[in-house]
Structure 1
Amino acid sequence: MKIKYGFSLVELMVTLAIIAILASIAVPGYQNYSLRGDRTDAIDPMQAILNAQELYYADNDSYTSDLSDLGLTVSGGAYTTPKGRYKITAAQCGGDPLTVCVELTSTAQGPQAKDGDLIFNTRNKRVLRLSDGTEKEL
């Protein structure tokens, strides 16, 4: 009898099928994990902007909707986050004047848009607005 070395074609095909099944489960999960992790590109600057808004309020008795008043570089009315995944704008909270509340909206750009937009305000609102319009607490 001859000793055979190596793998048969059937064994290789079974192995490839198992790897394909595992990859089809793992890749979408990793993509969602990656999107959630990239939110920090907006969360950290938004918190810093809210802190700067409080300092601005202490000096002026009002918040500002112009982020350049806080020393940020603004292009087209929005501040672009360091990695470019979000554009942050400031506006009034609903119908309240800027002397009461300011709301920051971080609009996702490019592939990050699948994750949704972040909304923070000085009343401690911290939500993720999904593409269907629903909001999820952070």
Structure 2
Amino acid sequence: MDRSRGFTLLELIIVTGIVAVLAALATASYGRYALRAHRADAHRMLMTIAHAEERWYATYNRYTDDLSKFGYDNPGISPHAYYEVALAVSGTTAQAYVVTAMPINSQAADVCGSLSIDNKGNKTPERNDEVANANGRCW
């Protein structure tokens, strides 16, 4: 009796199941990686605005809450449209500021949530915030 060579149906089902499990794991990992990578969009914009604020302060001895002075719309949208940035100056003498990047669009699912930096260099969420930093360090 001559048996033809090939795969049985059971072997094909097993291989298909293994490939499906691997694809599901890869998709979840890629999603988390993409959220972490998109945070660079906020980091760059926040640091650019913070540096511009310090240059503004060196010239005028006060901070400004006008993002248009730095070439951004108000509210500012990050270059890849993953974050919306808001700038707030405190006090009548404008001696302090906070820049906040709020996730929008596909980035809204990021566990880090809003990222911010102030005139003293304090960044939130902080490194010891375990919930926010569950998907890799936010900053």
Q: Give the TM-score taking structure 2 as reference length.
A: 0.82
* Partner SS for 2:72: coil
Name which of 80, 86, 89 aligns with 1:89: 86
5 Å matches for 1:18-97? 18-70=18-70, 72-74=71-73, 77-92=74-89
How big is each residue's C-alpha offset from its partner over 1:69-115, in whole Å with a ceiling of 9 and x where there is no partner? 22x131xx21111111111111136x79621x211111111110111
CA distance in 2, matches of 1:41, 1:124: 18
- How many residues are aligned here? 129
CA distance in 2, matches of 1:6, 1:39: 49
Gaps of 5+ in 2: none
* Aligned 8 A contact 1:42 1:81 in 2: yes
**Structure with more of its chain in helix, by fraction:** 2
Using the aligned pairs only, state the percent identity. 29
Are 1:126 and 2:129 matched, yes or no?
Answer: no
Aligned to 1:110: 105
By how many angstroms is 1:135 displaced?
A: 5.3
Aligned AA for 2:8?
S
CA distance in 2, matches of 1:78, 1:119: 14
Query: Which protein, 1 or 2, shows the higher relative CO under an 8 Å CA cutoff with sep ≥ 6?
Result: 2
| 4+ aligned runs moved over 4 Å, structure 1 | 134-137
Gaps of 5+ in 1: none
By how many angstroms is 1:24 displaced?
A: 2.2
* Aligned 8 A contact 1:127 1:135 in 2: no
Q: Give the TM-score taking structure 1 as reference length.
A: 0.82
